[in-house]
């Protein structure tokens, strides 16, 4: 009998051991079945690993909408010790617990990075319009003092996204990306497109998605924020170069009501000598709401569209135009898409056929959103866009409502069928598909004109589609201005570098007086807010003024010689003088995985900047500390959104007219990160990092600082980007550390750079020897300068920005493309 018991025990223990070791090595990693759950670990590179989990009884088949990287051949080893299966590459360690199925991640040296929570994988049965699937949850354990960043454009004012819950469904002003990165040097992309909850509390950090056939996420190392971003872009797509002219100043409003008005704005800027590169035509050029987004100039006020485009081009400006993700019932697009069952049925903007607020639902518009998940629907969209607008030579696309607008939400709306399943299943990827459809089609048509898309929403991978995302219809308040800084920084930390906001806020009606529409431009309370927002906007990837209620053109605010007008003009001119720096930084994004707006934690190991939401680096040299509190007027509390903002009724709590002296000097506190010496951009006074200082401000000046060791090229004063060549640049040297800067140039508005037709010149500063070396020029392109001069200026308190260039010059270098060194 003892022998029988012993035999049974042996068999039982052997079966347990076999179960515990039940895994198979695959080409990409391993596959195991643990507690009736399949766990797959797949290396996409030495630094990127994919984790898939699903119930053993099911199959998991998925083609990612965001991930375009094919797994590269990666050397890895597998070693089993007790209940741990260790997979190692040259960069990562991945540990699978063979008892619980939980996965942990560590650096190649064994430094712990992230752990799944034991029993943190949950599958809950879910019926998705007849398809049996799951609600999926994966929980992780983060260190208590760890900071995480990302999740998209969030209007919560926070830099680190710890200790909160975010319900992630795309909307007008919150754009969600199911990705975060940690200050420990790793990132995590949750590859799911359904409504998702990100939750972080002291017990766990989790993603929970309403629909999913399994858990599917990518863990990536990187060592620092730039390394993580490089891996995220390697996984989901690289960033193309934008046209050079897009980095100038853009004027817009809701809306110019005739082609004559649109052209006259450009003419006025030219007459005033104020730089401008772009004008934007908003909605209703197609006529009424029943012809919504017809992509045709049916409005009689736009009867000669080719002349409008030609007039703008002859003024050396560019035009982008509003297009939407929905169509009115009287458009041919609607009819063709409807016949092919490619429209979705839920309430979207505009709800009424009458252009009134609130919507008069006695006259429903019948506007419906199209299905961009369907490749044929994307073909149809482009067919009409190409014929109706692109054929006129329009320069780019303002893709509004790419989230899309989803009004009067009802749960059954998610039951709408798309090409890829229920709308519920793919909801958050809508902007990725809509924007990608336009980019891909234009690239197929021509390589002579770079795609430029301004869009209101985004998802992971959208950086590959030539799109700059703006933060939606935010209201015109100081609180909202403050929120834009961490919103843009966290979005950039998702690997999507191009971002902007409506300068001055979209809904500004609270500043108009006595029912006088547009009077807000003369209201000091709005003037101050607008100027500060514009100064911030000068240091974002796109400088674009836009909104409703209060026209934003510079001449609305006064005239030359008046403080507000002069402050606006000064900011625009400053943007243009920094164009060589900005365009070269754009190349660092495309070629070097960099980011233009940089959270301070990216570049400084300083605990005081880990959660700083009020300052940032623009490029890797300029510290921007925008004025984000009212200094001359009381702060106006404005509570509007995309619904209430359209209500034009007068209210009694509007800001009062004040007597304000905008010539007074003010001040604000600025923190200078440790680990660097800092130069005041305006005066060149020097400060040690690691301290907070009281910095003087004025209505025309915000605190700007330059890091020692920086080299900044200063461009000529121009009225538009391409007015003058960069043949006489000023090169500013900020001593105190060695430095390097690469000036990038190309043809400006085609894709020849992808064929190697571009040139770079690298400047190096040796701080101990006080020498500047200009390298041999690399590369060439059509129209490249053969000879030029560089006026070298060593920053000192005698050479602030207010001085004339002739007083600042230390050396003039005649440059013909060969290396030259000078001593300052």
Question: Are the C-beta atoms of 428 and 441 separated by less than 8 Å?
Answer: no
The pTM for the full model equals 0.96
Task: State yes or no: cis peptide before 361, omega within 30 of 0.
Answer: no
- Beta carbons within 10 angstroms of residue 655's beta carbon: 21
Question: Are the C-beta atoms of 381 and 420 separated by less than 8 Å?
Answer: no
Same CATH topology for 2-141+187-220 and 709-823: the answer is: yes
- Per-residue pLDDT of 499-535, as tens digits, reads 999 999 999 999 998 778 789 999 999 999 999 999 9
Starting at the edge strand that comes first in sequence, how are the strands of the sheet with 728-733 ordered? 711-714, 728-733, 788-794, 811-815
- Beta carbons within 10 angstroms of residue 730's beta carbon: 19
What average pLDDT does this structure show over 243-251? 98
Which of 381, 390, 496 is closest to 448 using CA atoms?
A: 390
- 803 or 662: which carries more pLDDT confidence? 662
Which of 427, 457, 453, 429 is closest to 440 using CA atoms?
A: 453
Helices 524-537, 478-492: axis angle to 10 degrees equals 10
455, β-bridge pairs: 399, 469
Residue 125: the pLDDT is 98
Question: Are the C-beta atoms of 546 and 505 separated by less than 8 Å?
Answer: no
Question: Are the C-beta atoms of 693 and 672 separated by less than 8 Å?
Answer: yes
Q: 709-823, which class in CATH?
A: mainly beta
DSSP β-ladder status, 196-200 and 165-168:
antiparallel
pLDDT band of residue 14 (cuts 50, 70, 90) is very low
Residue where the block lists tokens 């300083």 = 606
Q: What is the DSSP letter of 74?
A: -
- Per-residue pLDDT of 26-40, as tens digits, reads 999 999 999 999 999
Question: Are the C-beta atoms of 540 and 516 separated by less than 8 Å?
Answer: no
Q: How far apart are CA 116 and CA 792, in angstroms?
A: 54
% of the chain with per-residue pLDDT over 90? 91
Determine phi and psi for 244, rounding to 5 degrees: -60, -35
- Beta carbons within 10 angstroms of residue 745's beta carbon: 24
pLDDT band of residue 638 (cuts 50, 70, 90) is confident
Non-local CB neighbours of 50 within 8 Å, separated by 6+ positions: 28, 40, 41, 42, 43, 44, 216, 217, 218, 219
pLDDT band of residue 656 (cuts 50, 70, 90) is low
Burial (CB count within 10 angstroms: exposed 0-12, middle 13-18, buried 19+), residue 9: exposed
CA distances from 456 to 49, 66, 540 (A): 31, 18, 16
- 115 or 357: which carries more pLDDT confidence? 115
- Per-residue pLDDT of 642-654, as tens digits, reads 878 888 765 545 5
What's the mean per-residue pLDDT of the chain? Answer: 95
Q: How far apart are CA 610 and CA 600, in angstroms?
A: 7
3-state SS, 313-330, equals HHCCCEEEEEECCEECCC
Residue 151: the pLDDT is 98
What average pLDDT does this structure show over 135-158? 98
Residue 653: the pLDDT is 54
What average pLDDT does this structure show over 324-343? 98
Q: How far apart are CA 614 and CA 622, in angstroms?
A: 14
What average pLDDT does this structure show over 114-128? 98
Burial (CB count within 10 angstroms: exposed 0-12, middle 13-18, buried 19+), residue 20: middle
What average pLDDT does this structure show over 113-135? 97
Question: Are the C-beta atoms of 39 and 52 separated by less than 8 Å?
Answer: yes
3-class DSSP assignment, residue 43: strand
Residue 258: the pLDDT is 98
Task: State yes or no: cis peptide before 488, omega within 30 of 0.
Answer: no
Residue 647: the pLDDT is 80
Query: Which active-site residues does the annotation give?
Result: 400, 403, 473
Which of 427, 430, 436, 501 is closest to 463 using CA atoms?
A: 436
* Assigned token pair, 812: 């003039």
Buried (b) or exposed (e) across 311-325, using 16+ Cβ within 10 A?
Answer: bbeebbbbbbbbbbb
* Assigned token pair, 397: 């696309």
Which of 573, 545, 566 is closest to 698 using CA atoms?
A: 566
- Beta carbons within 10 angstroms of residue 546's beta carbon: 24
669, β-bridge pairs: 694
User: Which listed CATH number (3.30.70.360, 2.70.150.10, 3.40.640.10, 3.20.20.80) goes with 255-266+279-451?
Assistant: 3.20.20.80
* pLDDT higher than 50, residue 397: yes
Helices 375-388, 332-339: axis angle to 10 degrees equals 160
374 dihedral zone (left: phi>0; alpha: psi -120 to 50; beta): beta
What average pLDDT does this structure show over 113-120? 97
Question: Are the C-beta atoms of 712 and 580 separated by less than 8 Å?
Answer: no
Question: Are the C-beta atoms of 184 and 162 separated by less than 8 Å?
Answer: no
pLDDT band of residue 10 (cuts 50, 70, 90) is very low
Which of 322, 345, 324 is closest to 333 using CA atoms?
A: 324
What average pLDDT does this structure show over 41-49? 98
What average pLDDT does this structure show over 172-199? 98
DSSP assignment of 400-445: --SS----S--GGGGG-EETTEEHHHHGGGHHHHHHHHHHHHHHHH
Question: Are the C-beta atoms of 21 and 80 separated by less than 8 Å?
Answer: yes
Residue 388: the pLDDT is 98
Q: How far apart are CA 405 and CA 642, in angstroms?
A: 10
Residue where the block lists tokens 């961490």 = 486
- Per-residue pLDDT of 694-737, as tens digits, reads 999 999 999 999 999 999 999 999 999 999 999 999 999 999 99
Residue where the block lists tokens 């939407």 = 324
Distance of CA 367 to the CA centre of its chain: 29
Kindly list the domain boundaries of the chain, sorted by start residue: 2-141+187-220, 255-266+279-451, 709-823
Which of 183, 232, 161 is closest to 613 using CA atoms?
A: 161
Q: How far apart are CA 165 and CA 150, in angstroms?
A: 14
Q: 2-141+187-220, which class in CATH?
A: mainly beta
Question: Are the C-beta atoms of 457 and 430 separated by less than 8 Å?
Answer: yes
- Per-residue pLDDT of 407-434, as tens digits, reads 999 999 999 999 999 999 999 999 999 9
Exposure of 582 in the CB half-sphere (CA atoms within 13 A): 24
Buried (b) or exposed (e) across 86-125, using 16+ Cβ within 10 A?
Answer: bbbbebbbbbbbbebbbbbbbbeeeeebbbbbeebbebee
Residue 2: the pLDDT is 42
Question: Are the C-beta atoms of 138 and 215 separated by less than 8 Å?
Answer: yes
């Amino acid at each position: 009998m003892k022998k029988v018991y012993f035999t049974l025990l042996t068999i039982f223990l052997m079966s347990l051991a076999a179960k515990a070791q039940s895994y198979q090595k695959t080409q990409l990693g391993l596959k195991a079945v643990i507690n009736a759950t399949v766990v797959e670990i797949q290396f996409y590179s030495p630094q990127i690993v994919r984790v898939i989990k699903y119930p053993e009884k099911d199959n998991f088949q998925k083609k990612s909408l965001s991930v375009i990287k094919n797994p590269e051949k990666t050397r890895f080893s597998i070693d089993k010790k007790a209940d741990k299966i260790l997979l190692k590459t040259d960069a990562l360690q991945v540990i699978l617990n063979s008892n619980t199925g939980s996965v942990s991640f560590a650096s190649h040296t064994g430094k712990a990075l992230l752990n799944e929570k034991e029993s943190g994988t949950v599958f809950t049965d879910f019926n998705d319009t007849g398809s049996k699937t799951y609600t999926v949850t994966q929980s992780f354990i983060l260190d208590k003092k760890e900071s995480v960043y990302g999740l998209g454009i969030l209007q919560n004012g926070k830099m680190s996204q710890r200790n909160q819950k975010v319900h992630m469904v795309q909307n007008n002003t919150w754009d969600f990306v199911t990705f975060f990165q940690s200050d420990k040097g790793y990132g995590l992309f949750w590859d799911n497109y359904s409504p998702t909850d990100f939750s972080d509390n002291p017990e766990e950090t989790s993603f929970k998605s309403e629909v999913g056939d399994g858990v599917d996420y990518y863990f990536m190392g990187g060592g620092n924020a730039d390394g993580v971003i490089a891996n995220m872009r390697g996984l989901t797509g690289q960033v193309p170069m934008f046209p050079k002219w897009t980095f100038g100043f853009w004027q817009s409003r809701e809306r110019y009501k005739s082609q004559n008005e649109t052209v006259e704005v450009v003419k006025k800027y030219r007459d005033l000598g104020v730089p401008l590169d772009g004008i934007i035509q908003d909605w209703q050029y197609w006529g009424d709401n029943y012809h919504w987004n017809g992509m045709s100039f049916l409005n009689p006020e736009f009867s000669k569209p080719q002349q409008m485009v030609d007039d703008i081009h002859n003024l050396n400006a560019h035009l982008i135009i509003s297009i939407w993700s929905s169509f009115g019932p009287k458009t041919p697009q609607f009819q063709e898409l409807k016949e092919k069952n490619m429209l979705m049925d839920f309430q979207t903007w505009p709800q009424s056929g009458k252009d009134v607020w609130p919507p008069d639902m006695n006259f429903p518009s019948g506007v419906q959103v199209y299905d961009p998940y369907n490749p044929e629907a994307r073909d149809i969209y482009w067919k009409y866009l190409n014929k109706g607008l692109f054929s006129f030579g329009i320069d780019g696309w303002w893709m509004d409502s790419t989230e899309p607008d989803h009004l009067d939400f009802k749960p059954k709306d998610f039951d709408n069928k798309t090409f890829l399943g229920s709308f519920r299943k793919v909801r958050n990827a809508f902007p990725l598909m809509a924007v990608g459809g336009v980019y891909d089609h234009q690239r197929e048509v021509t390589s002579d004109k770079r795609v430029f898309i301004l869009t209101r929403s985004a998802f992971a991978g959208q950086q590959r589609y030539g799109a700059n995302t703006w933060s939606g219809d935010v209201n015109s308040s100081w609180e909202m201005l403050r929120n834009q800084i961490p919103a843009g920084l966290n979005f950039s930390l998702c690997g999507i570098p191009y971002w902007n906001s409506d300068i001055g806020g979209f809904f500004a009606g609270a500043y108009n007086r006595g029912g006088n529409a547009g009077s807000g431009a003369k209201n000091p309370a709005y003037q101050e807010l607008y100027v500060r927002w514009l100064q911030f906007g000068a240091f974002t990837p796109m400088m674009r003024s836009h909104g409703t209620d209060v026209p934003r053109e510079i001449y609305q605010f006064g005239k030359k010689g008046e403080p507000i007008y002069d402050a606006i003009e000064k900011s625009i001119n400053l943007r243009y003088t920094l164009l060589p720096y900005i365009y070269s930084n754009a190349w660092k994004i495309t070629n070097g995985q960099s980011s233009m707006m940089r959270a301070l934690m990216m570049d400084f190991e300083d605990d005081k900047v880990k959660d700083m939401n009020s300052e940032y680096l623009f490029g890797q040299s300029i510290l921007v500390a925008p004025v984000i509190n009212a200094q001359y007027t009381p702060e106006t509390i404005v509570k509007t959104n995309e619904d209430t903002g359209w209500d034009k009724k007068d209210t009694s709590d509007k800001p009062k007219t004040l007597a304000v002296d905008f010539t007074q000097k003010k001040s604000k506190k600025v923190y200078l990160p440790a680990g660097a010496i800092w130069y005041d951009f305006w005066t060149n006074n020097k400060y040690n990092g690691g301290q907070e200082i009281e910095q003087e401000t004025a209505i025309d000046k915000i605190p700007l600082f330059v890091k020692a060791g920086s080299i900044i090229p200063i461009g000529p004063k121009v009225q538009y980007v391409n007015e003058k060549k960069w043949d006489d640049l000023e090169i500013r040297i900020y001593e105190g550390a060695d430095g390097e800067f690469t000036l990038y140039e190309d043809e400006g508005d085609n894709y020849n750079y992808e064929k190697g037709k571009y040139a770079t010149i690298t400047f190096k500063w040796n701080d101990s020897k006080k020498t500047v070396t200009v390298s041999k020029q690399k590369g060439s392109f059509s129209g490249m300068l053969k000879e030029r001069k560089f006026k070298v200026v060593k920053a000192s308190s005698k050479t602030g920005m207010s001085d004339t260039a002739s007083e600042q010059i230390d050396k003039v270098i005649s440059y013909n493309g060969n290396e030259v060194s000078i001593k300052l």
